[in-house]
Every structure is written in structure tokens, then in C-alpha cells.
């Protein structure tokens, strides 16, 4: 099982050009009469987006990551839906990693546990395709997947890789630009990662940011609908030394629509696979 965990943790490490919080209280409307928000100052935009990312809500999402580094080319895609209610965060997601062969895993996250459906090569019984873990579990399976669970939450539920901080983020563009049929405002930012790292507490995020600062510069784009609801975003890290790029694109839809997160019953659970 370590091979699968290693692949997915590596993939999410690339995806985790991300680090904000969770769900949105609002919706994007395709009604042309619903105007996109006016341009906001950086601090006001940050406050508005954060406010909508801290309450109850639900949405569908996709997160696509592409890595071009020397001869390496990998693509990671995550699709799913989430909701946040009085109990906490619920999410269902499927992750496909192509590096170069495809590996697909499915996940169900609940406030109390995480369920993983490993790829077919793990040869679980057809009627028991799921394995249960907990976010703070001490068993080997839970510990092996803990970084992945944490990164999944950050990656899928964070529209920007870095917080909007005036000391490290510069607005380089703002215009009206729809997302599909939804009226939206498009922002472009340039982030000074070295300056950003100085504002972060010690920990994995600061360490990752310092590493990325040595690699190259980051440009981020954000599209928000009426009420500053995130609709789409893209984070791109250029690496001049290798002419490489790391790109993460996210889309959000169906804000406020019902999201069902089916929890696998005990009858469909297998013990954690060993080895691999």
C-alpha cells in the first residue's frame, strides 16, 4: 500500500500550492442581471473571500494539476463535492494520478473518519472495496494516509495557493470576465513567496513556501461571482532553472446545492492492504 500512498501524497504535494480554508455560503448565478462584484482592494477581497470560506455551504469541485519538470510530466485530477454542516466537513472525491501510468483512488471524508477505495491492483474483494481510516488514527494505514487527507482538504477547498497579503501579493490585473455563463470578476496576482514565508508560522506550509521561493515566481488568478463567491482559480509556479512549470487549476460549481456523501457501510469494509 505504501506505493499508492507515496504516489498520492506526492501528487497532493504538487497540488498543495494551496492553503486556505473551507466552504462557501453563497452561489454563482448565470443570470445576466446578476452583476459581478466591483473591483475590491486586496484586504477587502481577502476578507470577503475568507468570510465565504468559513461558513456552512456546499459545492462541486475539480482540481487539475500539471507538472512539467525536465523530462517529467505528470497530471493529477481530483473531482468531487463537499458540504459543511453543524457536524463538520463531508466530502466525496476521486483522484487520478498519471505519472506516467494512471492510478485512481476514491475517498469519502466525514467529520469522524476517512474511507479510501484503493486502486484495483490492491486486489480487495469486489464486495468489500473500501478501507476505513481516521484522521488522527495510530494504525499504519491511517498514519500513512494522514498527509493525503489533510492535503485533500486544503487542495480542494482553497481557491488560492497563498493568502492575499499586502506585504507579499501584488494585484497585476482586474477585469470583468465571465466563467462560462456566469458573470464574474477576474483578478491576477503576483506573489513574492520569500516575503510570504516571513508572514507564516513555522510548519510545513512555511517550509514548502520557502522551497517554492527558491524555484521561481508564482502568478495566481481568481474569478469570483456576485458576492465574491469563488468560481475558478489558477496557480502557476514557473521554474526558470529547468524551464519547468507547476500549474493547479480549480473550478467550483453548484454552490448551495444539496450534496449527498454516501458513507460505505461496514459490510463493504476490508482490512488495510499490506505492503505494495
CATH code at 62?
2.50.20.20
Decide if 268 is inside a domain: no
HSE toward the beta carbon, residue 248, CA cutoff 13 A: 27
Dist CA 218 CA 91 (whole Å)? 29
Decide if 276 is inside a domain: no
Decide if 222 is inside a domain: yes
Residues listed for the chain: 276
Range of the domain at 235: 2-260
Decide if 267 is inside a domain: no
pTM above 0.85, yes or no: no
Q: What is the pLDDT along the chain (276 residues), one digit of tens a residue?
A: 555 555 555 445 444 433 333 333 334 565 555 788 899 888 888 877 777 666 688 889 898 888 887 777 888 888 999 888 899 889 999 989 887 778 898 999 898 888 999 888 888 999 999 999 876 667 777 777 776 666 666 655 566 655 677 778 889 999 999 998 899 999 999 888 777 778 777 877 677 777 777 777 788 899 999 888 889 989 888 877 777 888 888 898 888 899 999 999 999 999 877 654
3-state secondary structure of 125: coil
What angle is formed at CA 62 by the lines to CA 61 and CA 68, rounded to 5 degrees? 155
Decide if 270 is inside a domain: no
Dist CA 6 CA 16 (whole Å)? 15
Decide if 166 is inside a domain: yes
Decide if 273 is inside a domain: no
Euclidean distance between the first and the last CA atom of the chain, given in angstroms as a whole number:
5
DSSP 8-state class, residue 157: T
How many helices (DSSP H) and strands (DSSP E) are in the chain? Answer: 5, 11
Beta carbons of 80 and 60 less than 8 angstroms apart: yes
Tally of domains within the chain: 1
Decide if 272 is inside a domain: no
Amino acid at each position: 500500500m505504501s506505493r499508492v500512498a507515496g504516489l498520492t501524497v506526492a501528487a497532493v504535494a504538487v497540488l498543495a500550492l494551496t492553503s486556505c480554508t473551507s466552504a462557501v455560503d453563497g452561489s454563482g448565478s448565470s443570470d445576466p442581471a446578476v452583476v459581478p462584484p466591483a473591483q475590491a482592494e486586496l484586504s477587502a477581497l481577502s476578507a470577503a473571500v475568507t468570510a465565504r470560506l468559513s461558513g456552512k455551504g456546499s459545492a462541486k469541485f475539480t482540481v487539475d494539476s500539471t507538472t512539467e519538470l525536465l523530462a517529467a510530466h505528470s497530471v493529477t485530477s481530483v473531482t468531487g463535492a463537499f458540504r459543511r454542516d453543524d457536524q463538520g466537513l463531508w466530502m466525496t472525491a476521486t483522484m487520478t494520478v498519471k505519472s506516467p501510468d494512471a492510478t485512481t483512488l476514491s475517498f469519502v471524508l466525514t467529520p469522524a473518519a476517512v474511507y479510501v477505495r484503493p486502486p484495483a491492483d490492491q486486489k480487495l474483494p469486489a464486495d468489500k472495496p473500501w478501507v476505513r481510516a481516521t484522521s488522527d488514527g495510530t494504525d499504519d494505514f491511517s498514519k500513512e494516509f494522514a498527509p493525503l487527507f489533510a492535503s485533500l482538504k486544503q487542495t480542494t477547498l482553497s481557491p488560492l495557493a497563498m493568502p492575499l497579503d499586502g506585504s507579499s501579493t501584488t494585484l497585476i490585473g482586474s477585469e470583468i470576465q465571465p466563467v462560462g455563463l456566469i458573470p464574474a470578476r477576474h483578478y491576477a496576482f503576483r506573489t513574492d513567496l520569500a516575503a510570504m514565508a516571513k508572514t507564516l508560522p513555522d510548519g510545513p506550509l512555511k517550509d514548502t513556501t520557502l522551497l517554492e521561493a527558491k524555484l521561481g515566481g508564482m502568478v495566481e488568478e481568481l474569478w469570483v461571482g456576485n458576492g465574491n463567491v469563488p468560481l475558478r482559480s489558477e496557480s502557476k509556479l514557473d521554474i526558470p532553472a529547468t524551464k519547468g512549470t507547476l500549474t493547479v487549476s480549480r473550478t467550483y460549481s453548484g454552490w448551495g446545492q444539496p450534496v449527498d456523501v454516501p458513507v460505505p457501510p461496514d459490510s463493504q469494509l476490508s482490512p488495510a492492504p499490506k505492503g505494495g
